[in-house]
Amino acid sequence: MTPQPLETAATEALLAFWRDAGVDACYLNEPVDRTVFVAPPAPQVMQKAAATVTALHGGQHGGMTSADAVSEARRLAAAATSMDELAEAVAAFQGCPLRAMGAKQAVFARGNPKGSILLIGESPGETEDQRGEPFVGQPGQLLDRMLAAAGLNDQVFMTNTVFWKPPGDRLPTPQEQAVCAPFLERAFALMQPKAVLLVGAAAAKSVLNTDDGLMKIRGQWREWRPAESAASAPVMTTLHPAFLLRQPQAKRVAWADILSLAARLDTAQVEPNA
């Protein structure tokens, strides 16, 4: 029997609702209690596999060793006097191995470079790779809605720890993050944000240089002082919006982090006049 158009539309709408609610399978071997919050698993397997690939290539990135790549990144980043120039420096940089792993283009940043919040994620995804901007896929749209609800959307400048899409949407390795770090630190220096929001475990571990798990550090205020900067800023870590799409019940936890960020900025704006 051929389904009627209205029935097809209703079915598609229902499937879209389930997708947005985090339903990722019709049947599983064991029942899953979706009301229980489950922390994101540690990405050890993917990190080890990526590290193996790096080792097989002898640590060479665009004909440079890792040390040479970091030095070149520092040179290019230091020469940038604006965010536009920094974006051009990132696009010209040949030292990140992700460039040769299928990424279409560099994905540097979007948002307000004169805002109060520097938001740092992990890496670009497929949609970001296509469009050349971070956080523009479905997870980014959720993040935008949360920031807008807290009145922060026009205060945020978004970037990632690496600027090219990793193959298979795996997490970036520490080595890949290290060669991109000078650009991230230069963005911090140019912007001088009042607060930094780290999104996801890979971003938190890289920026804060910690092995602590995400659920141990999320919701806490720490301080970030980049290696070659005299300035520092308070840092909050929260869950990645891609995880929130898979675990919708965790949105309340991330929302609490966003509200804490908004309150911190309100306090920072009041203090100078106190």
- Number of CB atoms found within 10 A of residue 136's CB: 19
The answer as to whether 234 is a domain residue is yes
Q: Can you tell me the distance from the alpha carbon of 201 to that of 211, in angstroms, rounded to the nearest whole number?
A: 10
pLDDT in tens, the chain (274 residues): 555 655 777 777 677 666 655 555 565 556 656 555 555 555 544 445 445 444 444 455 556 788 999 999 999 999 999 999 999 999 999 999 999 999 999 999 999 999 999 999 999 999 999 999 999 999 999 999 999 999 999 999 999 999 999 999 999 999 999 999 999 999 999 999 999 999 999 999 999 999 999 999 999 999 999 987 788 999 999 999 999 999 999 999 999 999 999 999 998 765 544 4
Number of compact structural domains in the chain? 1
The answer as to whether 140 is a domain residue is yes
Residue 252 corresponds to which tokens in the numbers above? 């309340």
* Burial tier of 160 (Cβ tally within 10 Å: 0-12, 13-18, 19+): buried
The answer as to whether 76 is a domain residue is yes
Contact between residue 134 and residue 128 where contact means Cβ atoms under 8 Å apart: yes
Closest CA to 229 of 74, 69, 90, 66: 74
Task: Work out the angle at residue 141's Cα, subtended by the Cα atoms of residues 220 and 11, and round it to the nearest 5 degrees.
Answer: 125
The answer as to whether 112 is a domain residue is yes
Contact between residue 224 and residue 265 where contact means Cβ atoms under 8 Å apart: no
Contact between residue 77 and residue 159 where contact means Cβ atoms under 8 Å apart: no
Q: What b/e string do you get for 55-83 counting C-beta neighbours within 10 Å, with b at 16 or more?
A: eeeeeebeebebebbbebbbebbeebeeb
The answer as to whether 18 is a domain residue is no
Domain that holds residue 175: 60-267
For 21, 23, 128, 240, 253, the CA distances from 244, given in Å and listed in that order, are: 9, 12, 18, 7, 10
Residue pointed to by tokens 């990526």: 50
The radius of gyration computed from the CA coordinates of the chain, to the nearest angstrom, equals 20
| Strands 195-199 and 117-121, bridge-based pairing | parallel
Contact between residue 103 and residue 164 where contact means Cβ atoms under 8 Å apart: yes
Q: Can you tell me the distance from the alpha carbon of 129 to that of 116, in angstroms, rounded to the nearest whole number?
A: 26
The answer as to whether 12 is a domain residue is no
The answer as to whether 215 is a domain residue is yes
The answer as to whether 66 is a domain residue is yes
Q: Can you tell me the distance from the alpha carbon of 182 to that of 184, in angstroms, rounded to the nearest whole number?
A: 5
Whichever domain contains 229, its CATH number is 3.40.470.10
DSSP code for 46: H
